[in-house]
Structure 1
Amino acid sequence: MPSNAPIGVFDSGLGGLSVLQAVRALLPHESLIYVADSRYAPYGERPDAFIEQRSLAIGRWLREHGAKAFVVACNTATAHGVAALRADDAWPVVGVEPGIKPAAATSRSGVIGVLATAATLRSARFANLLARHTAQGQRFLCQPGHGLVERIEAGDVDSPAVMALLDKYIAPMIAEGADTLVLGCTHYPFLIPAIQQQFGTALTLIDTGAAIARQLQRRLEDADLAAPAISGANAGASGSIQLFTTANAMALQTMADRLMPDAPAASGSTDATGELDLSATSGTVSRHPTAPRVATVEIAETAPQAAAGLALP
């Protein structure tokens, strides 16, 4: 795999853009392919086996389209799919998990709130993570964030309805003595301004985006896959970004424009007709003329043998 190949980044929807932004900040010369599986969001309300199957399907699609590494920018997909993805050790796979360790180190009261999806909170992976720190004396107040991902997917991060949900979920944690809140879903960093508006400085907020980017950097360097710095006439230029979604292209475009308005689109990603030319065997892609950097892609379901946890083809 060439070192100048792109990195694949995947989430159940728009939340992984918070991770994409962190990766972009640390590794600006790397090219990125982002897939938002918004057709099936939120994963937190889906069965565990379904989450694993979608993770494998998107991993296979990214491999087919040249990705050299894979960032599972979704806590729920990491909890239920990353082990199967790592069965193929031919490429680095970086997952995401709630920032329990930094929260435990940060909290002064020893009471820590965790806001995450129901699927993340019920996973064995999360239970093991929590047990390691509960044994050290911290108390964790775990709350499923029902309804928040759907609001964010619709572009709503500060409406009265969102504020009411935040008050419902977070105020009881503060009443119990929590001074730190783990944002256990990559969608939730988009709610940081609303949380701060609602609760002021009562909570230290833990977001793991920067830590994920650093882990990716280490894995790329260890595998000798880090892209070389761009030199010559284009010295200082950034790598390209391609954005794909299985649902509403405009929702992804709007959020991407808000976070990364100057990000360059991939050169040569369209043909003369404006159709994206991906030569995909597992799905079809159509271009939205009003969303020049986002395309809708249909990604086929994972083959039964992959869903069972075997190596990806």
Structure 2
Amino acid sequence: MPGALADRPIGVFDSGIGGLSVLNALRDALPHERFAYFADTAHAPYGERGDAYVAQRTRTVARYLRDRHGIKALVVACNTATAAAIHELRAEHPNLTVVGVEPALKPAVAASSTGHIAVLATRVTVESRKFAALHASLAGRADFRIIPCDGLAGAIEGGDAAGIAALSERYLRQAGSFGTAPGQIDTLVLGCTHYPFIAAELRRHCGEAVRFIDTGAPVALQTRRLLAQAGQLATEGEGAVALLSSAAPEALDAAAARWLARSGVPAALAGA
């Protein structure tokens, strides 16, 4: 039987709607869990803010979810926030299971046949120390074309179809030639949780043969493993989601209706 800690919700946090892609994977892997999803829409997009700003907001939202919603775990479903603040979060909340995301460079190396990999991510992510260390750890194992995608997460957040199309074309052109021939890029890392929502648009520019790698499923499996290890895994009951937003909850409602499996939960305004 699950205990008191197991009955508590899991917090999932992103600067906006991108983390819904991770939430989908979490719900698939953890069907009995309750989730509190927080979109910090009032302060998005994080990818074009400074590290100090992103770290401050991340810490504020973590405290809000812990104090107001009694979460047992926090999934930072944002590459930018993970890069800026994951170490501080773990230090400040030693009794909380904290899981971050990062661009899936290691799985991409394992998946690539040509050894040429493109990475799309926000500028803050690719310029972070955490990303630099990850990239350096894979030196010599693949040729990475790293593209900071200014404006793309914001266009997805705002539902700007024309902007999404133009920016996708621009950044994939910058990456180089896609395909499975020697020297071509055969693997694309979606290094921002917003980007899986535009996979169809991205594929228009790189072709069907290119493999896309994102972080949703690995993050969900890691969350499940850590909760089971801590004896906090919910093993019965029906899962549920609470949607919270620091501004414009109707935008989160619309995104959830479009992209969140088993949606229909109205979003609430939250003052973190």
Task: Check conservation: 1:78, 1:96, Cα contact below 8 A.
Answer: yes
Identity %: 45
Match of 2:193 among 179, 186, 193: 186
| CA drift at 1:250 | 1.3
Compute the TM-score of the two structures, normalised by the length of structure 2: 0.92
Tell me whether 1:206 sits opposite 2:208 in the alignment.
no
| CA drift at 1:34 | 0.3
Tell me whether 1:298 sits opposite 2:271 in the alignment.
yes
Partner of 2:24: 21
What is the identity, as a one-letter code, of the residue corresponding to 1:162?
I
Q: State how far apart, in whole Å, the 2-side matches of 1:51 and 1:116 are.
A: 16
Match of 2:84 among 80, 86, 89: 80
Q: State how far apart, in whole Å, the 1-side matches of 2:55 and 2:80 are.
A: 10
Stretches of structure 2 that go unaligned for 5 or more consecutive residues are 178-182
| CA drift at 1:262 | 3.1
Q: What does 1:1-313 correspond to in 2, within 5 Å?
A: 2-64=5-67, 65-87=69-91, 88-136=93-141, 138-156=142-160, 159-175=161-177, 177-230=184-237, 238-260=238-260, 262-263=262-263, 265=265, 293-299=266-272
Kindly provide the CA deviation profile for residues 17-75 of structure 1, in whole angstroms up to 9, marking residues without a partner as x: 00001101111110000000111111111111111111110110011121010000000
Q: State how far apart, in whole Å, the 1-side matches of 2:18 and 2:163 are.
A: 19
Task: Check conservation: 2:9, 2:33, Cα contact below 8 A.
Answer: yes
SS at match of 2:13: strand
Compute the TM-score of the two structures, normalised by the length of structure 1: 0.81
Task: Point out the structure with max Rg over C-alpha.
Answer: 1
Where has structure 1 moved over 6 Å in runs of 4 or more?
Answer: none
| CA drift at 1:113 | 0.6
| CA drift at 1:261 | 5.6
Task: Check conservation: 1:32, 1:241, Cα contact below 8 A.
Answer: yes
| CA drift at 1:126 | 0.4
Higher helix share: 2
- How many residue pairs align between the two structures? 262
Residues 221/261 of structure 1: CA separation in 2 closer, same or farther (3 Å cut): closer
What is the identity, as a one-letter code, of the residue corresponding to 1:171?
R
What is the identity, as a one-letter code, of the residue corresponding to 1:242?
A
Task: Check conservation: 2:257, 2:264, Cα contact below 8 A.
Answer: no
Q: State how far apart, in whole Å, the 2-side matches of 1:264 and 1:253 are.
A: 8
SS at match of 1:28: coil
| CA drift at 1:251 | 1.2
Stretches of structure 1 that go unaligned for 5 or more consecutive residues are 231-237, 266-292, 300-313
| CA drift at 1:2 | 1.9
Give the alignment's Cα RMSD to 1 decimal: 1.4
